[in-house]
Amino acid sequence: MNTTYDPSKESEIYKAWEDSGFFNPDRAPKKPRKAPPRSKPRKISSRGKQKVFSMVLPPPNVTGILHMGHAAMLAIQDILIRYHRMKGDKTLWIPGTDHAAIATQEKVEKEIYKKEGKSRHDLGREEFLRRVEQFAKESHDHIVRQTKRMGASLDWSREAFTLDEARTRAVREAFKRMYGAGLIYRGGRIVNWDPKLQTTVSDDEIEWKEEKASFYYFKYGPFEIGTARPETKFGDKYVVMHPKDGRYAKWKDGQKVELEWINGPITATIIKDGAVDPAFGTGVMTITPWHDATDFEIAERHKLDKEQIIDLRGKLLPIAGEFAGKKITEARPLVVEKLKAKGLLVKTDENYTHRIATSSRGGGTIEPQILTQWFVDVSKKFTLQKPLKGSGLKEIKGINPRNEISLKELMYMAVRSGQITILPKKFNKIYFYWTDNLRDWCISRQIWYGHRIPAWYHESKCIPRQGHEADVAKCKEVIVSDVKPKCEFCNAEFTQDPDTLDTWFSSGLWTFSTLGWPFGKAQGKPFDSAPFDKAQGGHGKPSKDFLMYHPTSVLETGYDILFFWVARMILMSGFLLGDIPFKTVYLHGMVRDAQGRKMSKSLGNIIDPLVMAEKYGADATRLSLIIGAAPGNDMKLSEDRVRGYRNFSTKLWNIARFIRMNEKPEFASLRSRYTAEDKKALVKALSIQKRVERSINTFRFHEGAELLYHYVWHELADKIIEREKKRLQGEHMAHAGTAHALLRELLRISITALHPFMPFVTEAIYQELYASEAKGDLLMIQNW
């Protein structure tokens, strides 16, 4: 043994684990062995009463490489997995990656533009997708290598991808069922349009940025209105005020007013609506329903006309008269100029800051637009799926399967009922608040990379087939299908919706699309030939994996995707299975740099976990991400910290080396000679192990890790070993043997308890000191 632990061997250790097959719970020994095995591990013939522990890995985006946040996630989850595996539970951890639709597409688009100066439209859909897939594959391979390097004991035989065949079947089945239940609808609604990426984005993908702007007050007939966006005011013909605003009491709802506006005289209508804040500006505003969410809602309430002012490229439409074709940013000062010339500008407030919506993906300014999109209706009532007998599906507490419920209520109840526990607790309130205020989820995206929406549109020209001349009116306009449908009555073709689905639609299915769902006919067949499950609402025969591992035990992820992902998984499994996707949600904090900033490429403050692992070992990297990070709190990471834990690896290694150096051939039988002090030391070690166990069970990993760090360094090394040196070098060989036996046993307890935290060094030590010749004798599967 060398004086320092050599982390470059970690890849070999990982390979030994992987080759053993024990990452796969079907191949892992049912009960970990206490004694070295004499023969090959027993195969499990029946489920028996073995406890099950299952998790899915939150699939990293195939947009590049893993960062420290991923490393922290892998470390925490691997602790849970290794602990449960050593406890003897049937333990499954499913790996996978996320196609991350918009994020990946954008990344590749940028790259192609940079290298070749071409846009995706220049390449065409097919060629562009080929490029994205190529990129995604390379990215995937890199991510898998990194994940293994961190020691994550995932069952690679079950690896999944949110855009592979099996998951595509799941997505289409889910879409079809939700459409069938009326929970997915297509409609004209106000959406967040990103003129830069030419796609809609969801509410959650918006980043608000403060911007300084001028705030103008204009004369609008007898009123004065304030606005920061005069260039949108061309179509404004409604003037809105609060119904209880005394200043405007003489104006009646619906009353008409003739007035002079940007491009000439118009007739405006008075509208009274509570959404207006009397204290803001003049308490009067005009509305632009096509380009503002609040205005849209007011218009909906009062059934007002809506007119489009700005096109999808961000340019003004003919309604703007002389300004048509101009970009909105160009038009703004010109419009102000014109209104001023007409004497309608009252005053300008230069010190006005407002928040503008930008896309968190492309950074472009969001321009709300009314567009025909696909939505998930979160408020529509439906009857909850009734779990089939013997299917392993459980009812969601507090919801009678025969009662009607909305997705919103379902998401709320699954957590409120206590069936799903969110840790740390503080996130419960945030979750409830979110579900309470949830609006319909826009799921269509105008991008190419992703799950194509399985909806087909009837071409407008109907050429009735013979004998069906009278049926043309019955032709279905939209058919949801995974294959190209044919019209019953005419020869018209169907064309598929060009849009793709929001990436979270597919990741929402992750906990069960990775376990063999959809069941029945669709399972295992290429999706082109597999019809959607006809028995709408039927479950089919559940897969073995599903029965065994669903709902998953724990969902561990960053708090930043509580809404994006966690909530959507609850929604999806609630509707499609009538079940919860997981029992406990544990949310970890973000990893930040030493100054507390987010790690990002532009700041150049990214600490690459792979570099850390090469330099200091994966174990040290893992420990640095665990210790000092309280549940749900952000943590600051610096290389110093990692270095500190590398020293601990070395310390542990040297303890092992010292014990090996003092091997006494006769140690084996000397247990009975333990003194009272020896026994006390053993009891202490075991009690530490118990406390570590408790820390893992309560998701307080930093406590367990710190406890072990302390015990090993300042108790085992500094006190016990120093003390035992006397006995070891004494004349009395038997006493020396006893001392050695004690140290050996204490170290074994220590590395066992430490294994989930630092799998590599502990395995290396186990192989040096404890393993038998038998193949597959690994610390990884020793009894905890």
Partner RNA sequence: GGGCGGUUAGCUCAGCGGCAGAGCACUUCGUUUACACCGAAGGGGUCGCAGGUUCAAAUCCUGCACCGCCCACCA
Within residues 547-576, the interface with RNA by CB under 7 A covers: 563
* CA separation for the pair 438, 290 (Å, rounded): 21
Q: Which of residues 326-355 bind RNA (CB under 7 A)?
A: 354-355
Residue 3 CB, shortest distance to RNA, in Å, is 4
**Which member of 185, 434, 457, 770 binds RNA (CB under 7 A)?**
434
Could you tell me if residue 604 is left (phi over 0), alpha (psi between -120 and 50 degrees) or otherwise beta?
left
* Nearest approach, Cβ of residue 47 and RNA (Å): 37
Structure tokens at 146: 């990194």
Q: What is the footprint of RNA within residues 592-651 (CB under 7 A)?
A: 594, 596, 628-630, 633-636, 640-641, 644, 646-647, 649-651
Q: Shortest gap between Cβ of 717 and RNA (angstroms)?
A: 4
- Compute the least distance from the CB of residue 94 to RNA, in Å: 28
Q: Which is nearer to RNA, 357 or 576 (CB)?
A: 357
CB nearer RNA, residue 372 or residue 633: 633
Nearest approach in angstroms of CB 585 to RNA is 16
Residues 6+ apart with CB under 8 A from 172: 451, 454, 482, 527, 532
Please give the size of the binding site for RNA, defined by CB under 7 A.
71
- Options 366, 728, 778, 779; binder of RNA; rule CB under 7 A: 728
Residues 14-43: x where in contact with RNA by CB under 7 A, - otherwise, as a string: ------------------------------
Among 66, 170, 670, 721, interactor with RNA by CB under 7 A: 721
Return all residues near 600 (Cβ < 8 A) that are at least 6 apart: 606
| Options 160, 262, 285, 442; binder of RNA; rule CB under 7 A | 285
Check binding of 702 to RNA (CB under 7 A): yes
Measured from the CB atom, the residue of 329 and 647 that comes closer to RNA is 647
Least distance CB 538 / RNA (angstroms): 36
User: Among residues 517 and 645, whose Cβ is nearest to RNA?
Assistant: 645
Position among 718, 723, 733, 775 found at the interface with RNA (CB under 7 A):
718
CA distance linking residue 367 with residue 195, whole number of Å: 7
User: Which residue in the set 145, 484, 714, 732 belongs to the binding site for RNA (CB under 7 A)?
Assistant: 714
* Shortest Cβ 346–RNA spacing (Å): 14
**Contact by Cβ (8 Å): 397, 417:** yes
- Binding of RNA at residue 674 (CB under 7 A)? no
Within a 13 Å sphere around the CA of 216, how many CA atoms are in the beta-carbon half? 21
Of 217-236, binders to RNA (CB under 7 A) are 226-229
Select from 395, 706, 745, 768 the one that contacts RNA (CB under 7 A). 706
Three-state DSSP at 653 gives: helix
- Which residues inside 729-748 make contact with RNA, applying CB under 7 A? 729, 736
CA distance 6 to 617: 8
Piece of 62-70, 307-315, 570-578, 728-736 that binds RNA (CB under 7 A): 728-736
Nearest to 589 by CA among 624, 630, 549: 630
Distance CA(41)–CA(776), nearest Å, equals: 8
Exposure on the CB side of residue 360, measured as CA atoms within 13 A: 8
- Rounded to the nearest whole angstrom, what is the least distance from the CB of residue 678 to RNA in the complex? 17
Least Å distance, CB 735 to RNA, is: 11
Using the rule CB under 7 A, give the single segment among 103-111, 190-198, 376-384, 699-707 that binds RNA.
699-707
User: Minimum CB separation from RNA for residue 462, in Å?
Assistant: 41
CA dist 306 and 299 (Å) reads 7
Q: What's the min distance (Å) between Cβ of 555 and RNA?
A: 19
Nearest distance from C-beta of residue 736 to RNA, angstroms:
7
By CB under 7 A, is residue 435 in contact with RNA?
A: no
Q: Which of residues 288-307 bind RNA (CB under 7 A)?
A: 292-294
Cα angle 133, 109, 508; round to 5: 55
Q: Is the dihedral of CA 316, 321, 326, 332 positive or negative?
A: negative
Residue 494 backbone phi and psi in degrees, to 5: -105, 140
Out of 52, 312, 430, 548, the only residue in the binding site for RNA (CB under 7 A) is 430
Stretch that binds RNA, among 107-115, 255-263, 428-436, 774-782 (CB under 7 A): 428-436
H helices, E strands: number in the chain: 22, 27
- Rounded Cα gap, residues 751 and 740, in angstroms: 16
| DSSP codes, 199-255 | EEE-GGGEEEEEEEEEEEEEEETTEEEEES-GGGGGG--EEEE-TT-GGGTTSPTT-
CA–CA dist 368, 467 (Å, integer)? 47
Binding map of RNA across residues 201-220, x = CB under 7 A, - = no contact: --xx---x------------
Strand partners, 97: 161
Helix axis angle, 733-754 to 722-729, nearest 10°: 150
**Are the C-beta atoms of residues 722 and 731 closer than 8 Å to each other?**
no
